Amino acid sequence: MSFFSTYLQKLALISLKNSADVDHNRKQVVNITYLLAIVVSFISGLIFVWQGWFSESLVHWIGMCASLVGFTLSIKGHSRSARMLLPFAYALYVSFCTFLFYGSQSHFQWLLIVLAAYSVAGYRVSSGKEQVLLCCFALLVFAFNQLFAPISTQYSSKDFQLFVTLATFIVAMMFVVLIAGVVVNKLRKLNEHLRYQAEVDELTRVSNRRKVLAEAVNVFADAVMSNQRCCFAILDLDHFKQINDRYGHDVGDRVLQRCAQVMQNSIRRGDWLGRYGGEEFVLIMPNTRLREAYDIMESLRIQISDLNIFVEGQDQPIVVTTSIGVAEIKDDTLRYEQILARADAALYLAKDNGRNRVELDMSELE
């Protein structure tokens, strides 16, 4: 059943791969419902043919054709028409089968519960009236079948009705599972998107200030508890304002992106890189001593200075350099902000000493 559910979901996504429709999940629900209706009517038609009831099987083939029409409408982009057609075609098919073939004792009419799940997941939250009307419609059709359909028919023996009851339960359960999967997947993707927006700098695609400082707290706490060393570095692109003033902010953004990419590719597994603000970046290096951090930052400084960023209309590329300050946790460090402050002081020392260099926290050298 799990394999069948996965297969149905893949089929439902066929029409959505190249779709620009922002209503992705609701369209997926419509497609899943149509596909499930196609499968049910197709299998029912085969059973009737196998029993020799050829003329009676036409009801199932017609139901399958109606579902195919609706599915085709959905694929072609006529989402509203497909969404509106489904409840009526579905209710008509269930009612015909209940009255003519299965009888109310088979509980086939319970398939109408699918319309309740469909109304919740297939319509917008703002379409409250349509959802209520669809649920009331499903309830009225169900009550009509329950009250007026014959208990059994000439086609339905006791064993056959039991088989239909079990099949009805399986189909309804499968649909609810599929729809629940769509809703859960939608919530998961929304949560991932919100988390990405909250933690990632939109321009450079590295962690933003909030995220990297949150990791700084964690790295500092781990270092204190495990009695290990860690280093913080602050990197600032030299004369970045001049690049913006001369070439424009678009070029300045490109410079930031290229430099951030170099930084991202150069850091080790377990290190944390984030944009601190403007042209400043912070690098958190767990379980790292000061000399090792210096070597890493010196290598990074050289890689950035080797960048050649070409601008349209300019013969000479833009050469970018960076000043870097590095500080290490000490035995008397009480808060991670103290390490950042010492790294910031080392950064200003690098600027005062001519830029394009790495400087260590002076208190460490003492």
| Residues 6+ away with beta carbon under 8 Å from 90 | 33, 37, 112, 114, 115
pLDDT at 154: 85
Whether 218 is covered by a domain: the verdict is: yes
Verify that 25 and 137 share a domain, yes or no: yes
pLDDT, tens only, 223-237:
999 888 999 999 999
Residues 224 and 105 in one domain: no
Domain count, the chain: 2
Beta bridge partners of 180: none
pLDDT score of 180 more than 70: yes
Task: State how far the Cα of 353 lies from the Cα of 260, in Å rounded to an integer.
Answer: 24
The pLDDT of 17-25, averaged and rounded, is 50
Segments in the chain forming alpha helices (H): 2-12, 24-50, 57-75, 79-97, 113-121, 128-148, 158-199, 209-226, 240-247, 249-266, 290-305, 336-352, 362-365
- pLDDT at position 21 is 42
Q: Are residues 131 and 248 in the same domain?
A: no
Query: Does residue 322 lie within any of the structural domains?
Result: yes
Residue 259 lies in a domain: yes
For residue 6, name the pLDDT band (cuts at 50, 70, 90). low
Q: Residue 8: pLDDT band by 50, 70, 90 thresholds?
A: low
Q: In this structure, is residue 176 part of a structural domain?
A: yes
Q: Say if residue 173 is in the same domain as residue 320.
A: no
pLDDT for the residue numbered 327: 95
pLDDT value at residue 114: 85
Residue 326 pLDDT level (bands cut at 50, 70, 90):
very high
Q: Predicted confidence band at 322 (pLDDT cuts at 50, 70, 90)?
A: very high
Report pLDDT for 182.
Answer: 73
Residue 200's pLDDT is what? 92
Going by C-alpha positions, the residue among 197, 266, 214 that lies closest to residue 235 is 266
Residue 353 belongs to some domain of the structure? yes
Q: Are 96 and 59 in contact (CB under 8 A)?
A: yes
pTM beyond 0.75, yes or no: no
Contact 94, 108 (CB under 8 A): yes
Rounded CA separation 115/111 (Å): 8
**Domain that residue 216 falls in:** 209-365
pLDDT interval class at 293 (50, 70, 90): very high
- Does residue 348 form part of some domain? yes
In a domain, 204, yes or no: no
What is the pLDDT at residue 80? Answer: 82
Note whether 349 and 222 are same-domain residues.
yes
Task: Give the 3-state secondary structure of residue 146.
Answer: helix
Examine the pLDDT at 213 and tell me if it is beyond 50: yes
Do 185 and 84 share a domain, yes or no?
yes
Lowest mean pLDDT segment, chosen from 13-27, 93-107, 158-172, 252-266: 13-27
Of residues 332 and 24, more confidence is placed in 332
Residue 168 pLDDT level (bands cut at 50, 70, 90): confident
Is the confidence at residue 17, as pLDDT, over 80? no
Residue 128 has pLDDT above 90, yes or no: no
- Give the residue carrying structure tokens 């369209």: 27
- Mean of the per-residue pLDDT values of the chain: 86
Same domain flag for 265 and 359: yes
Task: Tell me, yes or no, whether 137 and 175 share the same domain.
Answer: yes
Mean pLDDT along residues 337-363 = 92
Residue 110 lies in a domain: yes
CA dihedral 77, 83, 88, 92 (to 10 degrees): 70
Of the candidates 140, 175, 199, which is a domain's last residue?
Answer: 199
pLDDT digits (tens, 9 = 90+) for 42-55: 988 898 898 888 88
- Using the 3D structure, point to which of 199, 217, 251 is the last residue of a domain: 199
Q: Mean pLDDT across the stretch 243-259?
A: 92
15, 74 in Cβ contact below 8 A?
A: yes
Provide the CA 44 distance to its chain's centre, in angstroms: 37
User: Are residue 284 and residue 347 in the same domain, yes or no?
Assistant: yes
- Give yes or no: residues 194 and 213 share one domain: no
- Rounded to 10 degrees, the C-alpha dihedral 72/74/75/77 comes to 120
pLDDT at 286: 94
**Residue 218: DSSP 8-state:** H
Residues 177, 265, single domain; the answer is no
At 342 the pLDDT is 94
- Of the three residues 199, 234, 262, the one that is the final residue of a domain is 199
Q: Are residues 244 and 194 in the same domain?
A: no
User: What is the rounded (10 degree) CA torsion for 251, 253, 254, 257?
Assistant: 160
By annotation, the residues acting in catalysis are 279
Can you read off the two tokens belonging to residue 66? 């109606």
For residue 346, what pLDDT is reported?
95
- Higher per-residue confidence, 273 vs 316: 273
281 strand-pairing partners? 235, 275
Q: Is the model's pLDDT at 19 over the cut of 50?
A: no
Q: Would you give the DSSP letter of residue 291?
A: H
Query: What's the mean pLDDT in 113-133?
Result: 78
CATH number reported for the structural domain that contains residue 323 in this entry: 3.30.70.270
